[in-house]
Amino acid sequence: QVQLQESGPGLVKPSETLSLTCTVSGGSISGFYWSWIRQPPGKGLEWIGYIYYSGSTNYNPSLKSRVIISVDTSKNQFSLRLNSVTAADTAVYYCAREAGSKYYFDYWGQGDLVTVSS
Amino acid sequence: EIVLTQSPGTLSLSPGERATLSCRASQSVSSSYLAWYQQKPGQAPRLLICGASSRATGIPDRFSGSGSGTDFTLTISRLEPEDFAVYYCQHFGNSLFTFGPGTKVDIK
């Protein structure tokens, strides 16, 4: 059974960089697209971007200028960096697996709340 | 960019009743790229339906999806207590994933 686990600081100061890592267990990171998705408190889901195991990426245009997603296949991990954060970036951040070129998410992490505050 | 609209925003029903949730796309989309998720408080979304009408593994048959073009529907034939949750539709197009705003199904 594939499992995803987000990790990273739960509190980030405004204007700084939010960094999260997703560790994949129970399966290989190879051969799949991996996404970051976020959900502000009490609101809906927003797709941030994806990375293919080979390193190619695609980002939500609304966040593209501030986002970098990277992958480390040796550790079965992928990571999110979001710079110049503001309070509007406060959200639960999920990592998820896209189900093998089927364009939906079949496995999700439990989510990690990141609060932007001084 | 394709925009997904879900209606109603909130659906108040009793256990045993039928729930009909709508997802409308701003332009015609391939049904192959339309999925539905269920989210309960404090939990990650769970895949219910993919390809507009195929149930994901382990999803009870009281959940069904239908539709094509711009109009898609998620139907829960008889609501069980565990079905009260928020439901999201999701689409993939132009290399981007988009989610609808969600429909909350709550207990009447």
pLDDT value of position A112: 97
pLDDT value of position A90: 98
Is the predicted pLDDT of residue B1 greater than 90, yes or no? no
Cis preceding-peptide flag for B8 (omega within 30 of 0): yes
pLDDT value of position A101: 78
Is A102 touching B (CB cutoff 8 A)?
Answer: yes
pLDDT tens digits along B42-55 = 999 999 999 999 99
C-alpha dist (Å) from residue B60 to B20, B37, B49, B78, B84: 16, 13, 11, 11, 14
Is B88 touching A (CB cutoff 8 A)?
Answer: yes
pLDDT value of position A115: 98
pLDDT tens sequence for chain A (118 residues): 999 999 999 999 999 999 999 999 999 999 999 999 999 999 999 999 999 999 999 999 999 999 999 999 999 999 999 999 999 999 999 999 998 878 999 999 999 999 999 9
pLDDT value of position B53: 97
Residue of B nearest to A109 (CA): B44
Residues with Cβ within 8 Å of B84's Cβ and at least 6 positions away in sequence, in order, are B105, B106, B107
Distance from CA of B80 to the nearest CA of A (A): 23
CB distance B79 to B13 below 8 Å: yes
pLDDT value of position B94: 87
Is B65 touching A (CB cutoff 8 A)?
Answer: no
Average pLDDT over residues B64-79: 98
Q: What share of chain B is helix, strand, coil (3-state, %, to 5)?
A: 5, 60, 35
Contacts of A95 in chain B (CB under 8 A): none
Other beta carbons within 10 angstroms of residue A89's beta carbon come to 20
Of the candidates A61, A66, A57, A55, the one whose C-alpha atom is nearest the C-alpha of residue B2 is A61
